[in-house]
Structures are given as C-alpha cells and as structure tokens.
Amino acid sequence: MDAFAVSVSNGICYRNYTSRQAFCTALAFGGFQGLMPVLGFIAGTTFISMIESVDHLIALILLGYLGGKMIWEARKEAAGGDECPVGGVFTVRSLLLQAVATSIDALAVGISLAALRVDIVPAASFIAVVTFTCSLFGVSLGKRFGRVLESRAQIFGGLILIAIGLKIFVEHTFG
C-alpha cells in the first residue's frame, strides 16, 4: 500500500508523467517489494531456531508496527498536506529512493515469513506482481483523481497489516 500511495502521489505531482515512467515506477516498486522479503527471509532463516517459540509474537509486533506506522503517516500527511517535490521533475534517483523507502518494511515481512516457514519464492513473486499492478494503477488514479486517495490507501493497507498480525498471533496462540 505504501508503493500504491507513492504511485498515486507521483501521478498527482508529475503532471507530464509518461507511460514509460509509470511502467518504470511500477517495475522498480514491484522489484524492490519482491526482493526485500527474500533478503528478510534469508536473515530470518539464519536465526529461526532462536525465534521459533516466539515467531507468532514477532509477526504480531512487526506487522502491528508496520501497519500502525502506515496509518500514522497517512494521518500525518492528511493533516500536514505534504507538497509535491520541488519542480515536479521525475528522476531515476528519486524513483530509486522511493522504491527503497517503500520496500524497507518488506524486509521485516520477510523475517516474519521465515518464522512462519512460508515458501518464499511464490510469496515474493506474488508480492512483486501485486505491487507492480497496484503501482501502475496508482499512477493512473493519481493522474485522474488527485490527493483524495493517497492517505486512504495507506490507512487501508495499515489496517490490513495489523489484521494479518492479529490473525497469525491468534492462530498460533489459541489454535
């Protein structure tokens, strides 16, 4: 949802955003969102024996934190009315910074997936494809509908992450 929200923002801020730039944005966001869970998974599997007894608690804390952070940032942005980048010029540097910034949280998700012994290849591939699609769609929505969607998408995504964390915790604790 972070990548979607940034894509919406790009669609708003970069008025002359071309189809090629939108595709590159979606590719960068999808690629980094698919890569980061793999890196987190590798780190998580290295330490799995140490965290196995509390894996569900780790998932709850990480996903709850990430979801809460998304909601907090969305509320802060809605109240503060963050402005578009100065000059509104799309650059590869800004794209890469956005891609990394929006995918850092996926590193923690990868650790959670390792703790839950999820098959990382299909999971990371799914994450990458969904992020690519949502990002491409987000740019289009941003161009058409403006600022109204950005914070709502982040809030929705945050609530989903918190719900997933709670579901994992409840299933492993009581199920």
The residue count of the chain comes to 175
What is the pLDDT at residue 72? 83
Q: Could you tell me what percent of the chain has a pLDDT over 90?
A: 22
Q: Give the whole-number percent of the chain exceeding pLDDT 70.
A: 81
Q: State the pLDDT at residue 81.
A: 57
The CA distance from 167 to 169, in Å, is 5
For residues 25 and 21, give the distance between their C-alpha atoms in angstroms, rounded to a whole number: 6
Long-range contacts, 15-23 (Cβ 8 Å, 24+): 15/88, 17/90, 17/139, 17/143, 21/90, 22/136, 22/139, 22/140, 23/136
User: Among 9-23, 81-95, 107-121, which stretch is predicted with the lowest mean pLDDT?
Assistant: 81-95
Give burial (CB, 10 Å; 0-12/13-18/19+) of 29.
buried
Q: Average the pLDDT over 62-71 and give the result.
A: 76
pLDDT in tens, 99-152: 888 887 788 889 888 888 899 999 999 999 999 999 999 888 887 776 565 567
Identify the pLDDT of residue 154. 65
Q: Binning pLDDT at 50, 70 and 90, where does residue 86 land?
A: very low
> How confident is the model over 18-39, as pLDDT tens digits?
889 999 999 999 999 999 999 9
User: What's the pTM value of the predicted model, to 2 decimals?
Assistant: 0.68
CA torsion sign for 47, 49, 52, 54 is negative
